[in-house]
Structure 1
Amino acid sequence: MTGQEFVRDTQYIGTRITRDGRDGFPVEAGRYRLVVARACPWANRTIIVRRLLGLEDALSMGMCGPTHDSDSWTFDLDPGGLDPVLQIPRLKDAYEKRYPGYPKGITVPAIVDIPTGAVVTNDYPQITVDLEREWTEHHRPGAPELYPEHLADEIDDVNRGVYTEVNNGVYRCGFAGSQDAYEKAYDRLFTKLDELSDRLADRRYLVGDTITEADVRLFTTLARFDAVYHGHFKCNRTKLSEMPVLWAYARDLFQTPGFGDTIDFTQIKRHYYEVHRDINPTGVVPVGPDLRNWLTAHHREDLGGRPFGDGTPPGPPKPGEVVAPENGVPLNG
């Protein structure tokens, strides 16, 4: 890592899949494939939202492995190293199909047009919003309203601060190019985490009394905090498990169907510790932390709230989309 402060490139492929197809890509069940990696927090958001809304039958999902080289995410979890639907070994192939010589990073999540094999979008903040707003015809009965119109402005406001200070803030700490840049990033991160603790002290969820897009976006960073960001990215003022309000909030969500059952701690740790050799030159992956505390009582239900509003929890994950038991939280000692 060279330079001083880590600055994320946020110029993504902004094509949208919409009900009216105004960008040339109408919502259509079975036409698109969501490509993700369980290790990636940005992709993890789409996995959660797709599952909560019950879009599994309308939008198939391809899974990249936890590690990648400087060139591309790869489908090394699949037989023969090929995505079974797209029949490509590297996600880069779908980017190149749309934009030959694509000059930017190959990122997940991405949605690929199956008939052409070309990527449609990798604009991850917009992808989940469009799944919530544009794909409603394909939502399951009882799907929760994750981005309700009357709360949209407040959700957007909360999301802006969570993104700059927390979601991206941990990376700003980890990839800081100087001591000064690191300390500024560290202060910003924990100032925001303290603010979020205060906000959540007397309310179960970030906005309103149900789970929304805002909770999904914060959760994927919190789920990785103790396993990766505390040590690997030097976000070490306190562990998540030492911040009582945020720790209870995170456990509440983790124990909610659609959240914790998408978290693969083994893949998460492998990704960060093996790929970021500039930070961890040996590639050694730590054995800890002990994950069993994720299943302890949180008592957040005492604050009220209705996780799914007038909706219902999603059913179990689809076969083939279940996190391997050895990669999740141990259910016993």
Structure 2
Amino acid sequence: MTDRTAEPQSTEGAYVESGAEFTRDTHYIPTRITADGRDGYPVEPGRYRLVAARACPWANRAIIVRRLLGLEDVLSMGLCGPTHDKRSWTFDLDPGGLDPVLKIPRLQDAYFARFPDYSRGITVPAIVDVPTGQVVTNDYPRITLDLSSEWTRYHRDGAPDLYPEPLRDEIDEVADLVFRDVNNGVYRCGFAGSQEAYESAYDRLFARLDWLEERLADRRYLVGDIITEADVRLFTTLARFDAVYHGHFKCNRNKLDEMPTLWSYARDLFQTPGFGDTIDFTQIKQHYYIVHTDINPTQIVPKGPDLSGWLTPHGREGLGGRPFGDGTPPPPPRPGEEVPAGHGA
């Protein structure tokens, strides 16, 4: 996700406001795609295109959920490159720099097609209505929940229930704490405009990570004994922690691989089909270190860290749990949707 306050569309140093605490703009396009089409956009196979970027943790959630639920045949996906300019994410990975379905060079074209005067950030993930070329929604927390609850008719056989009714209150509660202190907390550290704002965010981040370390010590997953939406939301931040947030965002009390429980939990998910095979460490590092020029003016991308640890045994099977509940793992990524060789662990 990129929004006007969190990830401004600029490569020329507009991420940190001197003297200010980082505040995320959380106002997104609220339109929903639902089974009954109450907002004018009914769930229909082939009608919509998910636009994402592997570099972005918020978009990475949608990539994971789409794959776990087996929605590839009904919801196509376009991928933007890891860097962007002040105007928009671009389709620079595609031949000719055009998305092959939407036929546009910049995601902003889909936003402006629906809202000509759109003044907020051009964000990923976004779902675009292919027939009109217009953005439908960029409400990233709602997108994944709706994929789980509104697109059920088109889930693959064996798709897991990532948002089960009996666990929803607890999932929402845990996900909110994780968002405020961890998902967004790393940005509050990295984009802090004062020492005081940075230290406050730093303390909240590591207090919550310590809480998670304790919570996960005797349970395999965050809520219940299955993978849920809460795990997806935490995972995409943990996957980026040592590669980016520890150094680039100064979240450096310790690395993830120095927190035994969280590190084994993250490896457990990484080695679960649908999680680690969506992670492109090369694009992740390129995005943060090249785009945030006021934090890293040289735009030098670090060679490290060593990624081989992600594939080492995690030992969490002994805690029990059923990763996919009564369902089954997803098949391997579709041709053309694989992380490029050499970009993963």
Instruction: Quickly name the TM-score band, shorter chain normalised.
Output: over 0.9
Structure-1 residue corresponding to 2:250: 234
Secondary structure of the 1:33 match is: strand
Q: Does 1:64 align with 2:80?
A: yes
CA deviations on 1:222-249 (whole Å, 9 max, x unpaired) are 0000000000000000000000000000
Aligned with 2:131 (options 109, 115, 118): 115
Q: Does 1:323 align with 2:313?
A: no
1:53 counterpart letter in structure 2: L
2:168 counterpart letter in structure 1: A
Structure-2 residue corresponding to 1:4: 20
Secondary structure of the 1:326 match is: coil
Q: Give the drift of 1:215.
A: 0.1
Structure-1 residue corresponding to 2:195: 179
> 2: distance between equivalents of 1:211 and 1:70?
37
> 2: distance between equivalents of 1:120 and 1:236?
38
1:240 counterpart letter in structure 2: L
Structure-2 residue corresponding to 1:284: 300
1:150 counterpart letter in structure 2: P
2:248 counterpart letter in structure 1: H
> 1: distance between equivalents of 2:147 and 2:235?
18
2:138 counterpart letter in structure 1: N
> 2: distance between equivalents of 1:121 and 1:154?
26
Secondary structure of the 1:325 match is: coil
1:89 counterpart letter in structure 2: P
Aligned with 1:248 (options 264, 268, 274): 264
Secondary structure of the 1:186 match is: helix
> 2: distance between equivalents of 1:158 and 1:232?
26
Aligned with 2:150 (options 130, 134, 154): 134
1:143 counterpart letter in structure 2: A
Structure-2 residue corresponding to 1:33: 49
Map 1:34-53 to 2 at 5 A.
34-53=50-69
TM-score (norm 2): 0.95
> 2: distance between equivalents of 1:209 and 1:11?
33
Q: After TM superposition, what 4+ stretches of structure 1 lie above 4 angstroms from structure 2? A: none
> 1: distance between equivalents of 2:55 and 2:89?
11
Structure-1 residue corresponding to 2:10: none
Q: Give the drift of 1:101.
A: 2.1
Aligned with 1:147 (options 163, 167, 173): 163
Secondary structure of the 2:201 match is: helix
2:315 counterpart letter in structure 1: H
Secondary structure of the 1:119 match is: strand
> 2: distance between equivalents of 1:4 and 1:114?
40
> 1: distance between equivalents of 2:231 and 2:90?
29
Q: Give the drift of 1:55.
A: 0.2
Structure-1 residue corresponding to 2:12: none
Q: Give the drift of 1:4.
A: 1.4
Secondary structure of the 1:220 match is: helix
Structure-2 residue corresponding to 1:297: 313
Secondary structure of the 1:34 match is: strand
Structure-2 residue corresponding to 1:78: 94
1:324 counterpart letter in structure 2: P
Secondary structure of the 2:78 match is: strand
TM-score (norm 1): 0.98
> 1: distance between equivalents of 2:197 and 2:23?
11
Structure-1 residue corresponding to 2:109: 93
> 1: distance between equivalents of 2:300 and 2:118?
32
1:309 counterpart letter in structure 2: G
Map 1:164-243 to 2 at 5 A.
164-243=180-259
Aligned with 1:163 (options 150, 159, 179): 179
Compute the RMSD of aligned alpha carbons: 0.4
> 2: distance between equivalents of 1:126 and 1:29?
19
> 1: distance between equivalents of 2:117 and 2:291?
24
Identity of aligned residues (%): 78
> 2: distance between equivalents of 1:280 and 1:63?
25
1:227 counterpart letter in structure 2: A
Structure-2 residue corresponding to 1:265: 281
2:289 counterpart letter in structure 1: Y
CA deviations on 1:255-279 (whole Å, 9 max, x unpaired) are 0000000000000000000000010
Aligned residues: 329
Q: Give the drift of 1:11.
A: 0.3
> 2: distance between equivalents of 1:70 and 1:233?
21
Q: Give the drift of 1:313.
A: 0.1
